[in-house]
């Protein structure tokens, strides 16, 4: 029997790539230019928004939800380096950000949860009753 | 847009140089590297990496940083709108200074790595007195 290693990311990555490709025509061209980059997922009974915010503290992020709009704002500030340092590379950016997202459907006003873990912000917004998936019973004829 | 407002740069995919036993997508983390009189400091943005997912390796003057994220964070989620890819991180550096490997410190906080690489103490210049014959 052949042993096949399955990459746990394979399917997710394929799906992400497909969507990125569909939206931008090229995998490398993935960005709207606005900080931070976000991915929006359908989590069944909730919409899940993830944003990459490395090096940002939870206290520096402000979240606001109004109807189907999510607003994300804050600031990324570095404490390093000291002034006597000489830079070899400087690719990371600091500054302020503000991002307004229109969610794909109506959300319920309560029970919205947000957590920041390892530099990724995850916001879980329960769908409004009318946006939830419904099981439809099929009647036998 | 105010002058201080941030922009997003697309994540760059990277090919790992050595054969890897764990296939998957890797991205090049953006870094800051600076030097003071006593140390080299490297900061790298690697969102999604837990502290046990980080691997820092120094071989000779070659520093390798690789990291993986948790696939389980995405279980049961169907992408609707995508702006960034999800995967590990990988980057290699050649260090210009000799580093004291015993005193290297790595700290991962909020998906940002802070790596302190203290320079080796320079060999003291020995004064040699030449005696007249």
Question: Is A1 among the domain residues?
Answer: no
CA distance B25 to B67: 11
The arrangement of strands across the sheet holding A61-66 comes to A61-66, A69-76, A95-102
The torsion angles phi and psi of B101, rounded to 5 degrees, stand at -65, -25
Question: Is A24 among the domain residues?
Answer: no
Question: Which of B11, B30, B48 faces A120 most closely, judged by CB atoms?
Answer: B48
Domain count, chain A: 1
Question: Is A86 among the domain residues?
Answer: no
Question: Is A5 among the domain residues?
Answer: no
Measure the CA dihedral A51/A54/A57/A59, to 10°.
-20
Q: What pLDDT is attached to residue B127?
A: 58
Beta-carbon separation of B49 and A118 below 8 A: yes
pTM of the model as a whole: 0.80
Does the structure show a pLDDT above 90 at A59?
yes
Q: What pLDDT is attached to residue A7?
A: 67
Cis amide prior to B26 (ω within 30 degrees): no
Beta-carbon separation of B85 and A16 below 8 A: yes
Does the structure show a pLDDT above 80 at A136?
yes
Please tell me which residue of chain A has the smallest CA distance to B3: A95
Residue by residue, DSSP assigns A53-85 as -TT--GGGEEEEEETTEEEEEEEE------TT-
Structural domain boundaries, residue A72? 33-78+95-132
Tell me, what DSSP letter sits at residue A26?
Answer: S
Please tell me which residue of chain A has the smallest CA distance to B73: A122
Domains of chain B: 27-71+85-118 (2.60.40.790)
Q: What pLDDT is attached to residue A48?
A: 95
Please indicate whether residue B21 or residue B71 has the higher confidence score (pLDDT): B71
pLDDT range class, residue A28, cuts 50, 70, 90: very low
> Over the stretch A42-52, which tens digit does the pLDDT of each residue have?
999 999 999 99
Question: Is A51 among the domain residues?
Answer: yes
């Amino acid at each position: 029997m052949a042993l096949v290693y399955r990459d746990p990311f394979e399917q997710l990555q394929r799906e992400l790539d497909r969507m990125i490709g569909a939206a931008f025509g090229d995998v490398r061209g993935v960005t709207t230019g606005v900080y931070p980059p976000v991915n929006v997922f359908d989590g069944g009974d909730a919409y899940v928004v993830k944003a990459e915010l490395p090096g940002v503290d939870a206290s520096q992020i402000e979240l606001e939800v109004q109807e189907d709009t999510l607003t994300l704002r804050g600031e990324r500030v570095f404490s390093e380096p000291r002034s006597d340092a000489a830079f070899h590379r400087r690719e990371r950016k600091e500054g302020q950000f503000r991002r307004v997202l229109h969610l794909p459907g109506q959300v319920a006003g309560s029970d919205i949860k947000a957590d920041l873990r390892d530099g990724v912000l995850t916001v879980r917004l329960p769908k409004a009753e009318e946006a939830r998936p419904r099981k439809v019973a099929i009647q036998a004829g | 847009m105010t002058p201080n407002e941030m922009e997003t740069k697309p994540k760059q995919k990277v090919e790992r140089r050595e054969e890897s036993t764990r296939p998957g997508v890797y991205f090049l983390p953006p870094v800051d590297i600076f030097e003071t009189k006593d140390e080299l400091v490297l900061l790298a943005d690697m969102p999604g990496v837990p502290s046990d997912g980080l691997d820092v390796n120094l071989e000779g003057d070659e520093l390798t940083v690789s990291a993986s994220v948790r696939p389980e964070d995405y279980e049961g989620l169907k992408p609707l709108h995508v702006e960034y890819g999800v995967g590990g991180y990988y980057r290699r550096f050649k260090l210009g200074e000799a580093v004291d490997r015993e005193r290297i410190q790595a700290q991962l906080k909020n998906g940002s790595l802070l790596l302190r690489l203290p320079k080796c103490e320079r060999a003291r210049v020995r004064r040699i007195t030449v005696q007249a014959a």
